[in-house]
Structure 1
Amino acid sequence: MGVRLRALQLLVASVLPLLGLSVRAKVGDVSWSYETGAEIFGSAAVASDGSVFFGSRSGNVYALNSDGSEKWIVSTGDWVDSSPALSKDESVVYAGSWDNKLYALATDSGAVLWTFTAGSLITASPALDDEGNLYFGSSDGFFYSVDSTGELRWFYFVGAELDSSPAVSEDGHVYVGAYDGNLYSFTGDGELRWTFAAREPVEDNDSRIAGPIAIGENGEIYFGSADGYCYAVTPEGELDWEFDTLEKVDTGVVIGNNGELILASRSGTVYALDRFGVPIWESFVGDVFFSTPAVDSKGRVYLGSYVGNGVSSLNVLEDGGDLVWDHLVVDYIDSPPVIDHLGRVIYGCYDGALYVIEADAEPALSSWHRYGGGRENRSLKEPYEVSVLSARFGEWIGELGLEGVFADPCFDAEEDGYPLALEYLVGGDPAEFDRVGLTSGVERIEGVDRLWLEHDRVLGDSEVSFVLEYSVEWGEWEDLMGLEGIGQELVNADLLGDGWYERVRLVLPTGLPAATLFRLRMACD
């Protein structure tokens, strides 16, 4: 993940992250769009440099720069409904086509590095393991694995169409759904471990598992089925729980900030479930087909639905299910949206366009917050990489017993406006809704009222520096310690009685303008 909290600041009564200011379109506005001339079914994959890769029923795979300018176009022999997946080093992008081939394309030039031919069309997105091996199914009823050079490693005849995009667990096990209503588990070497059968279909003789498979924090496998149920299955292939959605489920299941599960069914309802399968909330948005939701860091849910009269909507729902905003188009949206690292949501439409919408959002703090797990669409369950604020922060996290997303410096479990990084730096309690940090008051010294500022700070962290600054009417910020006549004293050398924090007071000189503002800035080296 990398460190995202590099500097933090506290004003007397509020917490303000240090953010660069830029001019952007308003939330919900189209930043740019790109016309392909044919329907877009799959999701886009986004590289770390902002490049966007996607396919279209024009028969092409497209690579665009982050500003929407064309990078390259590669023609296949038929529709490209498969969502492209990026290699770990982002040098290769993989996509299947209705011409029965899986393509490996160089991300910089679009050069065809190799192709692998199956017995029928490939609509599923390939999953990759840590070694770069690929796993994918075909409508020919075979499940395939090839290595990073395109050489066949193994295959297994399921006997039913395989449109479901597989998922690979941390321990290298592979999970994929089929049109026979079974979830299959393989070892990375192609040995069948077990099968799990969904319920018998109620109508239409339709028992398919068509949506992508997701893997939870503890290895649970989540998927929906045309039998109208969402399932949670253990890594050993046993049913953990099932949830009745009343209609077919063709979307994938995604995981929110606090482990909640988000999915949608053909009933037009978006569901949020807890990890035990108990409903948290539900919201009706219209007909939902294959648009697997995406969840952002504020718990908002993004997905496409058909609302009627030829119009579809990209819906943005608040945590709780209320509509925040939407983007309307004339045609269907089956494309699962992706939130990129520039704060935009990207999705394709049957009108032939890829849309990039300003969303002012970041992906949820979970390992499977959207189709394919991450923006690369690799469908690989990887350990949640905690940002390293400092070595001392790691010790603090260890003492609290926090792991994964709950140990991320940006995580704010009690939603008091203080992420873990700030709780650590100024002695807050991450389990309590508290207000800590920079406080102020007045003290009479030698007959003169003097303003003082107090702040709490962590001890013994050489990677963190604390600087008190002042500004006159939001002008330039300057170091407060540079003022003549300022005094500093230690109020408490062991604030919490655990040797971790101290409290410092600065007594300000007289003569400062009434409009002077103060902040405590903390930088992590």
Structure 2
Amino acid sequence: MFSLLFAIAISLLPPDSLIYPLKVDTSTELELTIFPPAQVNLPIQYRIDWGDGDTLDWTEPLNSRTEMVRYHRYHQPGNYNIRVKVRDKIGMESDWGPARLVEVVPALVKWFAPTLEPVVAAPALDKNGNVYIGDESGTVYSFNSAGELRWTFHTRQPVYAGLSIEQELIYVPSLDSSLYCLDTSGNLRWSVNLNDELWAPPAIGTDRNLYLTSDKGKLISVDPKGKVRWQVQLGDEASSAPTIGPDGNIYVSADSIYSFTPKGKRKWAFGTPDNSYFFAAPVLDQDGLVYAGSFDGFVYCLNREGRMVWRAPVPDEDEIRTEVVFSPDNRLYVGTDGYYLCVKEPNGSFRVVYETNDAICATPAVSVTGTVYFFSDDGVFYAFNKEGRMLFRNEIATGDKDLYYTSSPAIGSDGTVYVGSWDGGLYAFYGDAPPANTPWTQFRGNYQHTGRIYRSK
């Protein structure tokens, strides 16, 4: 009998799978998820050494092989080692598992600025670090880099789209059907009524001509003085902004991916085998390859003639509403309606990085170190390193949201990460580095939302 118990004790291993953020601040509880070891006699209990002198003696017995979640708040900044051991139903204990390091910082949030109404628009920045965002009341806000309000401007209907910025001018699309042009002091330069709701920011050409879509599926070009140059009807409603390729042509999503010349002449159209909808904007690399996710659960790569180079399914083939973004090591990231942040290695398949608790409609943003920031419809803002480890999570929205639009994060030149909340407000998070130096690193390609790809040098 003694030898049998000795064998059982030797074989009882500590939990080898823990999920927790590598960084947390002193105002936020750390969430630790523990997965049971493969060989253990139920029920089991866990003992947790949080590394700060506080130990959770033993949890209540767990009668299943499901994960257990526990929370802990650290009160002082520093580095702490978390250790976990397990006890089975006959009282046998494992050794302490390996120490897992967590960094506790004074704050994850740099500042927060309230808005009058919910925000689903993506923040945009000018080259001086000022931030611009619109809300559901139709108000446009400008904050400086310290979060201080500079000015407001009022449209007549909600501003759900991100703004676009070029040469000290700010372009504001509104559901009141008007495109507004403001200077960086908030003065109105001009406005033009386009007779349809505007849900997406304009792309800005090198000649400062603007290209944008309307809710009823029109692609419209407006000149730098606010005059309509031309407009064409797409095959269906359009939910996203156009993209300007390195060849100067315009690429836009609707029931197909379309390519137009800068003068509005259609070059080609590409549809999926089952005519699935393209919700997010197509993006391009510097070689002119076009990438877009579809409601059929595939990401498509097309050449500049509109022919398919490859297509790759995301796990579970869920609908895709985010733009594709590129990491410094040539990975592709997208979010899905199946709650997944997905990554595709060069010459590989898409795999799940992390499963949230709701759809991911907002386009991720990638820093030069490969850190990926994204905002899920579960109300949590996440950061993951390039190895796929969670750096931090922070809940920034708890209310209901009825739209399939969510604020996409923007990484500023100093590494600060900005994101809007549908609870009402703009958050600035401490980031680790500036945006990645890739063709498309965040929503609309860059923090000014120009939606333009530059030619290869």
TM bracket (short chain): 0.7 to 0.9
Equivalent position SS for 1:217: coil
- Measured after TM superposition, the shift of residue 276 of structure 1 is 4.0
- Measured after TM superposition, the shift of residue 111 of structure 1 is 1.3
- Measured after TM superposition, the shift of residue 277 of structure 1 is 5.5
Equivalent position SS for 2:292: strand
1:69 aligns with 2:126: no
Structure 1 counterpart of 2:31: none
Structure 2 counterpart of 1:468: none
Q: Indicate which of 345, 356, 362 corresponds to 1:274.
A: 345
Structure 1 counterpart of 2:71: none
Structure 1 counterpart of 2:24: none
Structure 2 counterpart of 1:227: 296
- The aligned length equals 347
- Measured after TM superposition, the shift of residue 28 of structure 1 is 5.7
**Equivalent runs, 1:358-369 vs 2, <5 Å:** 358-369=430-441
Alpha-carbon distance in structure 2 between the residues aligned to 1:99 and 1:28: 39
Structure 2 counterpart of 1:60: 139
Letter in 2 for 1:29: L
Aligned sequence identity (%): 29
Letter in 2 for 1:161: E
Letter in 2 for 1:105: L
Asked whether the equivalents of residues 139 and 160 of structure 1 are also in contact (C-alpha less than 8 Å), the reply is: no
**Equivalent runs, 1:333-348 vs 2, <5 Å:** 334-348=406-420
Structure 2 counterpart of 1:187: 261
1:146 aligns with 2:222: yes
Mark the CA change 1:153 to 1:34 in structure 2 (over 3 Å): closer, same or farther: same
Letter in 2 for 1:77: R
Equivalent position SS for 2:377: strand
Structure 1 counterpart of 2:44: none
Structure 2 counterpart of 1:163: 239
5+ long unaligned stretches in structure 1: 1-24, 202-206, 385-403, 405-525
Alpha-carbon distance in structure 1 between the residues aligned to 2:117 and 2:229: 34
Letter in 1 for 2:173: G
Structure 2 counterpart of 1:355: 427
Mark the CA change 1:244 to 1:77 in structure 2 (over 3 Å): closer, same or farther: same
Asked whether the equivalents of residues 30 and 356 of structure 1 are also in contact (C-alpha less than 8 Å), the reply is: yes
Asked whether the equivalents of residues 220 and 232 of structure 1 are also in contact (C-alpha less than 8 Å), the reply is: yes
Aligned-residue RMSD, C-alpha:
1.8
Equivalent position SS for 1:120: coil
Alpha-carbon distance in structure 1 between the residues aligned to 2:360 and 2:352: 20
Structure 1 counterpart of 2:7: none
- Measured after TM superposition, the shift of residue 293 of structure 1 is 0.3
**Equivalent runs, 1:97-496 vs 2, <5 Å:** 97-107=174-184, 109-178=185-254, 181-200=255-274, 207-245=276-314, 246-276=317-347, 278-279=349-350, 282-307=353-378, 312-329=379-396, 330-331=398-399, 334-383=406-455
| Cα shift readout 1:340-379 (whole Å, capped 9, x = no counterpart) | 1222110001101110011232211212110111111000
Alpha-carbon distance in structure 2 between the residues aligned to 1:135 and 1:45: 17
Alpha-carbon distance in structure 2 between the residues aligned to 1:306 and 1:171: 36
Q: TM-score, normalised by structure 2?
A: 0.73
Alpha-carbon distance in structure 2 between the residues aligned to 1:39 and 1:84: 16
Asked whether the equivalents of residues 38 and 351 of structure 1 are also in contact (C-alpha less than 8 Å), the reply is: yes
Mark the CA change 1:378 to 1:28 in structure 2 (over 3 Å): closer, same or farther: farther
Alpha-carbon distance in structure 1 between the residues aligned to 2:369 and 2:356: 20
Q: Indicate which of 79, 85, 98 corresponds to 2:158.
A: 79
Letter in 2 for 1:34: A
Alpha-carbon distance in structure 1 between the residues aligned to 2:318 and 2:350: 16
Alpha-carbon distance in structure 2 between the residues aligned to 1:199 and 1:60: 42
Alpha-carbon distance in structure 1 between the residues aligned to 2:348 and 2:131: 34
- Measured after TM superposition, the shift of residue 269 of structure 1 is 1.2
- Measured after TM superposition, the shift of residue 34 of structure 1 is 1.2
Alpha-carbon distance in structure 1 between the residues aligned to 2:280 and 2:358: 16
- Measured after TM superposition, the shift of residue 281 of structure 1 is 5.8
Structure 1 counterpart of 2:37: none
Mark the CA change 1:172 to 1:27 in structure 2 (over 3 Å): closer, same or farther: farther
Alpha-carbon distance in structure 1 between the residues aligned to 2:229 and 2:154: 26
- Measured after TM superposition, the shift of residue 285 of structure 1 is 2.5
| Cα shift readout 1:270-295 (whole Å, capped 9, x = no counterpart) | 11113446336632233233210001
| Cα shift readout 1:355-413 (whole Å, capped 9, x = no counterpart) | 001123221121211011111100000146xxxxxxxxxxxxxxxxxxx7xxxxxxxxx
Mark the CA change 1:68 to 1:314 in structure 2 (over 3 Å): closer, same or farther: same
Equivalent position SS for 2:443: coil
Asked whether the equivalents of residues 110 and 428 of structure 2 are also in contact (C-alpha less than 8 Å), the reply is: yes
- Measured after TM superposition, the shift of residue 172 of structure 1 is 0.5
1:94 aligns with 2:166: no
Letter in 2 for 1:227: D
- Measured after TM superposition, the shift of residue 119 of structure 1 is 2.4
| Cα shift readout 1:240-263 (whole Å, capped 9, x = no counterpart) | 111212100001100110221111
Structure 2 counterpart of 1:472: none
Letter in 1 for 2:270: F
Alpha-carbon distance in structure 2 between the residues aligned to 1:198 and 1:55: 34
Structure 2 counterpart of 1:32: 111
Asked whether the equivalents of residues 243 and 277 of structure 1 are also in contact (C-alpha less than 8 Å), the reply is: no
Asked whether the equivalents of residues 246 and 286 of structure 2 are also in contact (C-alpha less than 8 Å), the reply is: no
Asked whether the equivalents of residues 215 and 221 of structure 1 are also in contact (C-alpha less than 8 Å), the reply is: yes
Greater shift, 218-227 or 167-176, is seen at: 218-227
Letter in 2 for 1:264: G
Alpha-carbon distance in structure 2 between the residues aligned to 1:199 and 1:354: 40
Alpha-carbon distance in structure 2 between the residues aligned to 1:341 and 1:145: 29
Mark the CA change 1:197 to 1:159 in structure 2 (over 3 Å): closer, same or farther: closer
Mark the CA change 1:286 to 1:199 in structure 2 (over 3 Å): closer, same or farther: farther
Q: TM-score, normalised by structure 1?
A: 0.64
Structure 2 counterpart of 1:50: 129
Alpha-carbon distance in structure 2 between the residues aligned to 1:182 and 1:317: 32
- Measured after TM superposition, the shift of residue 235 of structure 1 is 1.1
Asked whether the equivalents of residues 42 and 336 of structure 1 are also in contact (C-alpha less than 8 Å), the reply is: yes
